[in-house]
Every structure is written in structure tokens, then in C-alpha cells.
Amino acid sequence: MTIPTHDPRDGSSQDTDITPTPQADVRAAAARADAVFRQLRDVSRADRATALRTIADALEADRADLVICAMAETGLSEQRLTGEVNRSAFQFRMFADAIEEGSYLEVMIDHAGDTPLGPAPDVRRMLVPLGPVAVFGSSNFPFAFSVAGGDTASALAAGNPVIVKAHSSHILTSRATFDVIHRAIVDSGLPADTFQIVYGQQAGVDLVQDPAITAVGYTGSLGAAQILISAIGERETPIPFYGELSSVNPLIVTEAAARARGAQIAQGLYASVTGSAGQLCTKPGVAFVPRTDDVIVPELVRLAAAAEPQPLLNAKIHESLFRIQGDLIASGGASALRASEPVGPGLGATPGILEIDASTFTAAAAEEAFGPVVVVVRYDTLDQLPAALDAVPDSLTATVHCEVDEAAGLADLVTDLQRRSGRVVFNGYPTGVRVCWAQHHGGPWPATNSQHTSVGVTAMRRFLRPIAWQSAPAVLLPAELRDDDASVPRRVDGVYQPAKN
């Protein structure tokens, strides 16, 4: 049995030569990853950084072919996918810089000495890689959250071998990306088994249950996550499951902002809701708009009416979108100002603009509709928002459009949004997540199930653990923990010391 590939642009399917990885092969891959993990500790940070940069270069070199392959499997545009390959390459380079800089090791040295509690031994601490990491990419980012994504990059950067489970929604793109990265890894002199791939849903379950796997990075639906979480629950040894799962991303427009720049907000919001056919985890799914507004909502409807349909990623997402839109109307009480409609022959969909009153808004109108649909919630006063927001599941992001002179008065609202999300966006849109040191891509359950981020430099920390060494002979310490090393920033006897180059 082989795994087919589907083209959402015309609804066609084709067989491939890719077969589901049998359990024995998954076990063998995990065993090889475990063996290679021991070799990887002899690879210097500099050599690991070089490998990551080689991967970035290789992705860019093969960008055109990768993009063509992904266009046929995802229906996403050439421009969008080209940007995504660039983002993946950028991410590998960012982690290369970070491991050279070395602060991610969190080196701390407390020399032996007298303390208020008596004489104390020398204690030194740093983070070390966890072990083989399993990575599950998402359907909606065939590069930046898939084989070449942030989980792969951060786990490799931290010094771990990685086994990715290819996403069935872009199986050929997964293999092609794997081949590019794998070749770059071998070309860099790293062991070949540093990076492996498995195919098929059962292989994913077998993977997370393998004793050699020490952590799982996952981006995708809550449903598939639950299958993996319960598979992990059957393990003898628990391991962390870092899941980025779902997000409704409430967006709030104040009356002043609506008055001052309604048309501009409508255009920005429309682009954020419909970009990549609305299939972004940070898409604003619920927009709180003042009842007095007579610009934003009509403009959203006008833009939606004028839009060409865009193909959705796969049949499941296509089917879900219309089912959930139906629920939002039937159970949630939203009315369709313009409903999203399926358009053949492929998996096309037009944008949908729904509307509901804040006073009748419930959780049934706040279900995540993955696709180009937004629910506008009309409110009278900002006082209504906390109760209305209680109906919205906690999210990756929350957004506020406001005017400068009213900002100070919104402190309580913003504090409330901080409690409900992992990133608060002002006068912008949550889509287009910047990849940088300060980024946090996470949020309270059900957005994610951990405190950690899957974007930004600190994503590495998910795949590291601390070890302390007490009274260790220098020769048995990692180089970065020796007194005569100053290649990384360190906290020595409680005081930060920059690296000396």
C-alpha cells in the first residue's frame, strides 16, 4: 500500500511510491537516533552552526523545486510558499547564530566557598540536549512548521537527533524537503542518522511510543494531538509533548479606532482572515467591532464578495470549514453576512463574514473555523468584552486596535487579554509571526499544552535539560563549564559575565 498525493487545486489524486513505515523500521530508526545521539555530543557548537547554515543554503538553492512541489500539494500560492522557504532558511540561520552565541546553554558556576549555611561545594550547571526528538509538522505550513520547520531547527540546534513524521497532506513535499536537509547534514559532516523521516499515521504512534524518543514537537489539530498524547500515556517513561493545537485569536477594535481608520482596519483584517485561505493558526477568528461601525463590516463584506475562491489544504479541512460555519450559524446564532461557499472542481472556498451580537455570543459561536471565515461580534461598550471573551477559548494571540490617546484607559482590558493569550498585538494583525529572540508562539490551553514557545530562539529550551556537576575535575567538565573557558556568557557566583571572544 502506498500513500497518495492530492492536488487541492483540481481535486485530483495520484499514487506515490511512498509506503507507510512499518513498526520494525520505526524502531530501527529510533535505535539509530539513540546511537547517533551519543556521537552528536562530540560535535562542537561551531560545527553544528555550520550544519544549520548549510541546511539554510540548501533550502534556498532548491527553493524553486520545493515550491512547485508544495503548490501542487497545498494549493498555496507561489509567493506565499517562496516566503515560507525563506522563513525556514532564516530560522536555521537564527539558531546557528544562537548556538554560537551560547547563552542558550544557561551556564552557571558557583564556586566552592563559605555560605550562611556553611561550607558549600563547587556546583556548575548547563543545559544539555535531551535525546532523539520526534517532530510532527502541520498541514498549513509545508515548510516553516513541517520537515524544515522550527521544531526540527530548534531540536537539531540543541544537539538532538530528529525523526520527523511526514504530514500526509504534503507527502512529496515532505520527502523532497527531507532529502535536501539530509544531504546538507551529510555534507556538513554530521552523522547521516541525525535526521530521519517516517511515513504514515501508525508510524507516528509507534514513534512517540518508542523508548528512545525523549520529546515530541507537534503542530496540528487537537484531535490528532489527543491520539498522540494518549499513545504517550501508555509509555513506561513519560516524555514531554509540546503541542501547538488550536487558536481563535480574538481581535478587538475600539470605537475610536473604528472611527479613525475603519477602512484601513477592514482591509488589514480581511487580509489577515483570508491570507493563505485563512489557514493560519494565528488567523483572527473572532473580531469585536463596535455596533456604531458602518465602515469596517460593510467593507469586509464587499471585499469578500469580490474575492476569487482559494483552494483549501485538504478535503478534511474543506469539509470541516463548512460544517463548522453551519454550526456557528445554527447552534451559535451567528448570521451570515456573506457565507463561505465551496467552489469546485477542487477544494476551493470563498471568504465568509458572519455576524453576531455580543449579548448573544456564546462558545458555540467561537469554535475555530480553519479557513477564510471571521465572526464579527458587535458590542456596545468595552465593559461587555470580558464576559464575551469568556466564550472564546484561550488563544495564541489577542489583538487590539485602539487610538494612542485612549491606550492608557485600556490597561484592564489588556491585562485580561494577557491572561487569555500568549501574544498581545496592537494596531496590527497576529498573522505573519516574526521570527526573533523575543517572539513567543504559545498560549494557555487549548492553544498549547506547555509554557514554551515553538517560534523564536527560546524554542530550543524545549529540547534541553539542566545537569549540575558538583566538585568535578576540570577534565570531566564540558568545555563551557571550565574556569578557563569564556566562549559563552556565564553566571559566575551569581554575577553575569559576558563571553570573551
448 secondary structure, DSSP code = B
Q: Which residues of 352-373 are buried (b: 16+ CB within 10 A; e: fewer)?
A: bbbbbbbeebeeebbbbbbbbb
Nearer to a second copy, 2 or 39 (CB): 39
Out of 69, 73, 255, 281, pick the active-site residue. 281
- Which one, 72 or 158, has the nearer CB to a second copy? 158
Is 64 or 426 the residue whose CB approaches a second copy more closely?
426
Phi-psi region of 135 (alpha: psi -120 to 50; beta: other; left: phi over 0): beta
SS (H, E, C) 160-190: CCEEEECCHHHHHHHHHHHHHHHHHHHHCCC
Tally of CA atoms within 13 A in the half-sphere of 163 that contains its CB: 33
Q: Which CB sits closer to a second copy, 177 or 399?
A: 399
For 292, the grid coordinates are 456604531
- Residue 44 CA to residue 56 CA, distance in Å, equals 19
Give the Cα separation of 288 and 118 in Å (integer). Answer: 60
In the complex with a second copy, the residue whose CB is nearer, 4 or 223, is: 223
Q: Which cell numbers hold the place of 2?
A: 502506498
Enumerate the H helices of 200-254 as residue ranges.
Answer: 201-209, 222-233
* CA atoms within a 13 Å half-sphere pointing along the CA-CB vector of 90: 14
Told to judge if 244 belongs to the known catalytic residues of this protein, a careful annotator would answer: yes
At 240, the amino acid letter reads P
**Which lies closer to a second copy via its Cβ, residue 204 or residue 393?**
393
Q: Is 281 a catalytic residue?
A: yes
Closest CB 110 distance from a second copy, rounded Å: 4
Residue 305 identity: A
Residue recorded with cell 458555540: 364
Specify burial of residue 10 (Cβ count, 10 A radius: 0-12, 13-18, 19+): middle
Residue placing its CB nearer to a second copy in the complex, 45 or 318: 45
CA distances from 466 to 36, 108, 123, 462 (A): 21, 10, 12, 11
Task: Kindly state the smallest distance separating residue 494's Cβ from a second copy, in Å.
Answer: 5
Q: Which of 244, 299, 367, 368 is catalytic?
A: 244
Considering just the CA atoms, what is the radius of gyration of the chain in Å? 24
Catalytic positions, written as ranges: 244, 281
